[in-house]
Structure 1
Amino acid sequence: MRFIFKMCLFFLVSSCAIKSTKSEKINGVSFVASRDTINDTHIKPLLNIHANYAAIMPFGFIRELMHPNIRFNTERQWFGERKEGVKQYVENLKQHQIKVMIKPQIWVSRGVFTGGIKMTSEADWLILEESYSNFILMYAELAETLDAEIFCIGTELESFIDNRPEYWKQLIVEIRKVYNGKLTYAANWNEYNRSPFWEQLDYIGIDAYFPISNEKTPTVEACRSGWLNHKPKIKTFSEKYNKPILFTEFGYRSVDYAGKEPWRSDRDMNTVNMEAQTNTMQVIFEEFWDEDWFAGGFLWKWFHNHNEAGGENDSRFTPQNKPVEALVKAQYSR
């Protein structure tokens, strides 16, 4: 009888543990690199919204889409964009029990979309591959040293991946040799379903800028209807690979037509609309955060100097000092 009681107790505790792990979400922010070091003052606002993860984003730079050399970790870069800054940011965040995804990214001059990076000769492809491997493996090694929970192998590089799939599969093998944490890739919203290496990774990463409404001020109902075009496909894709979905980026601007083309960052889109941002964000939380196959996501984006970020006249992505910040706090506190 005592044995049966112990076994029942074991299964009860195990069941609770499984449910707890299953329901824990990545409530993250994309922590923007700056010129400065960070300290407790910069981390306290993250704790106030109950964020449990931060994506740290060092940068490499390419002169143009057909240029194969990546410049990275140079003194000309901002502190937070290079290795020294990543180390300082991660160590300070971890002191406050905030977990980390290290997410190295490429910047093409003048902000040209990275998905179009494509070489015109085999020689240049080989140079790009060597350069990218040096860039990404340096940060994978650092991620291991810093005990970063997640490492992102790239962000929105669809043409590079479409043209060199075998390179990427081998790169993942090389990353696994130096980093033992969880791996993902940040696929653009219209790219994830053809990325060739999900079986090698731990999360299916999506930058979730799906179009969901053509309304100037999208209503909650319109946004929910818009997600019907995308959510079932995302769920099916998760089931296909038996991998959780992670929104490596998600968010909306506080601007008119926020749900129409959420990826747009044009400066000429500047008519402030806080309701549009709040409604679109509310629905993404309601549609995804309770799903078992959904791991969570990283809000785009969060600046270190909270008091000077966002605000009532800001039409950009950040939720800081806007009505939507209270919504994020309520969701992340669950």
Structure 2
Amino acid sequence: MAKPVADDAVLKTSNKKKYLLWAVGLLLLLGAIGGIVGGIIAVRRSRQRDVFPAFRGVSYTPWGSDVASSTNSRASIQAMKDANVNMVALNTFSFIEDQDDTGPVTLDTTASSRTNYSTDDAGLVEGIRYIRAQGMDVFFKPNLDLKDAQWRGKIPASDGFFRSYKEWMVSRAVVAQSNGVSILSVGTEFNGAQGDEAAWRDIVAAVREVYDGQLTYSANHDSYQEVAWWDAVDMIGIDAYFPLTENEDDEPSKPTIQQRWVDQGEQIGMFRNKANLRTMPVIFAEAGYRSATGATTESGHDGGANQGDRRDNVNLDLQADAYDALLGIMGGHRFDWWQGAFFWNWEVNPRDNEDTYNSWTPQGKPALQVMTEFYQKWAE
């Protein structure tokens, strides 16, 4: 006997129920997927925030003992805080006569335009304490210069030099320890002397006996890969004046500068891997650009590019773009081992019309706004 044919209305009702159940299931599935995707996005966002650099820095250069004793110097330090700075690289300068001098390191406060910028210990301590009282940490960067105005990178390695330098650096470490300094640089740009690995390990060991904060060495941009004793300190420090362009009359676009920083970041990353320093953070112990055409060239660093009179070839936009490129590229997720820059330089007494000069400082210029906005984002 043939089976009865189902009523059309019954079939339609049954199909509607199937479609309804299918639609509900699809909506539930989409909701679950949406929740997963949302969670992934949230995790990615939190990871991106986690890699913001730890240090929002500037390089403070008192050029004398007025670190925080005058109305001007205290106002300058307060302006750092207003720019969202959380770590101040405090630069001081002591001297030897010339590159062959193996005598003791001395202060020089004579009335010379070249050498009248040593900071005595009273001014140093007052400055450290005042900066910390404003809620910022201190990266102490004691620099050794030559009275004959030659670059410290020309000082050769010698037993006599290391003997006097070690004594001096330990004395700086004692001041740092006594006054709550967070980071201490054991040297700056000693291209000619940094190759004596044993001597530098000895200096670092002596410093650690009296100082328990973080240590770095501030290598010049062209020689950081030649330092064989990075593992003796806590972070790789680079004075990051990399030449990003070649033509002194060139005014590179921001995308061009950004790509150059991608290239530099990749090179630093490859060095960390090759040297088995994958867990070591990197800071730019110094970085910066003059507000002048040619500022992104090699001679923009050494002062030759279009400097002439200090009011020649002023280029505020190039300085601002260079700050933006450095902070945007190096501060991104791609280079999460990079922990910040200390921009050269922050003056005690910036000019009221600083934006009409081709000087290094960002004070009173568009570059300051760029830096402030990045630092605000990183602080959130």
Tell me the TM-score normalised to structure 1 length: 0.86
Match of 1:159 in 2: 192
- State yes or no: 1:222 paired with 2:256: yes
Q: For residues 149 and 117 of structure 2, what CA distance do their matches in structure 1 show?
A: 20
Q: Is the alpha carbon distance of 1:210 and 1:69 closer, same or farther for their aligned partners in structure 2, counting shifts above 3 Å?
A: same
Q: Is the alpha carbon distance of 1:289 and 1:229 closer, same or farther for their aligned partners in structure 2, counting shifts above 3 Å?
A: closer
Match of 1:287 in 2: 329
Offset of residue 62 of structure 1: 2.0
Q: For residues 20 and 90 of structure 1, what CA distance do their matches in structure 2 show?
A: 30
Match of 1:278 in 2: 320
Q: For residues 212 and 75 of structure 1, what CA distance do their matches in structure 2 show?
A: 36
Match of 2:297 in 1: 260
Deviations 1:65-106 (A, max 9, x none): 222224324665768622222111100000011100111101
SS in 2 for 1:259: coil
Q: For residues 222 and 183 of structure 2, what CA distance do their matches in structure 1 show?
A: 23
- State yes or no: 1:189 paired with 2:189: no
Match of 1:234 in 2: 268
SS in 1 for 2:303: coil
Aligned residue among 168, 189, 205 for 2:237? 205
SS in 2 for 1:254: coil
- 8 Å contact 2:61–2:348 — kept in the other structure? yes
- 8 Å contact 1:37–1:79 — kept in the other structure? no
Match of 1:145 in 2: 178
- 8 Å contact 1:206–1:248 — kept in the other structure? yes
Structure 1 residue ranges without an equivalent (≥5)? 1-15, 120-124
Q: For residues 319 and 108 of structure 2, what CA distance do their matches in structure 1 show?
A: 36
- 8 Å contact 1:310–1:319 — kept in the other structure? no
Match of 2:135 in 1: 97
- State yes or no: 1:332 paired with 2:361: no
- 8 Å contact 1:59–1:107 — kept in the other structure? yes
Q: Is the alpha carbon distance of 1:38 and 1:78 closer, same or farther for their aligned partners in structure 2, counting shifts above 3 Å?
A: farther
Offset of residue 149 of structure 1: 0.5
Match of 2:25 in 1: none
Q: Quick one: percent identity of the two aligned structures?
A: 24
Which residue identity lines up with residue 259 of structure 2 in the other structure? Answer: S
283-292 vs 142-151, greater mean Cα deviation: 283-292
Which residue identity lines up with residue 338 of structure 2 in the other structure? Answer: F
Q: For residues 17 and 219 of structure 1, what CA distance do their matches in structure 2 show?
A: 31
Q: For residues 200 and 18 of structure 1, what CA distance do their matches in structure 2 show?
A: 30
Offset of residue 27 of structure 1: 0.8
Aligned residue among 175, 200, 211 for 1:179? 211
Q: For residues 64 and 93 of structure 1, what CA distance do their matches in structure 2 show?
A: 33
- 8 Å contact 2:53–2:338 — kept in the other structure? no
Query: 5 Å matches for 1:34-53?
Result: 34-35=63-64, 36-38=66-68, 40-53=74-87
Q: Which has the larger radius of gyration?
A: 2
Q: Is the alpha carbon distance of 1:17 and 1:83 closer, same or farther for their aligned partners in structure 2, counting shifts above 3 Å?
A: farther
Which residue identity lines up with residue 79 of structure 2 in the other structure? Answer: P
Q: For residues 291 and 104 of structure 2, what CA distance do their matches in structure 1 show?
A: 33
SS in 2 for 1:297: strand
Offset of residue 272 of structure 1: 1.0
Match of 2:14 in 1: none
- State yes or no: 1:26 paired with 2:58: no
Aligned residue among 311, 321, 342 for 1:298? 342
Q: Is the alpha carbon distance of 1:305 and 1:259 closer, same or farther for their aligned partners in structure 2, counting shifts above 3 Å?
A: same
Match of 2:286 in 1: 249
- State yes or no: 1:109 paired with 2:176: no
Match of 1:130 in 2: 163
- 8 Å contact 2:61–2:92 — kept in the other structure? no
Deviations 1:283-320 (A, max 9, x none): 101111123211111110001224x2671221121101
220-229 vs 45-54, greater mean Cα deviation: 220-229
Q: For residues 310 and 193 of structure 1, what CA distance do their matches in structure 2 show?
A: 40
Deviations 1:19-41 (A, max 9, x none): 87753521111111244241542
Q: Report the aligned-residue RMSD.
A: 2.3
SS in 1 for 2:100: coil
SS in 1 for 2:193: helix
- 8 Å contact 2:96–2:106 — kept in the other structure? no
Aligned length: 312
Q: Is the alpha carbon distance of 1:315 and 1:19 closer, same or farther for their aligned partners in structure 2, counting shifts above 3 Å?
A: closer
Tell me the TM-score normalised to structure 2 length: 0.76
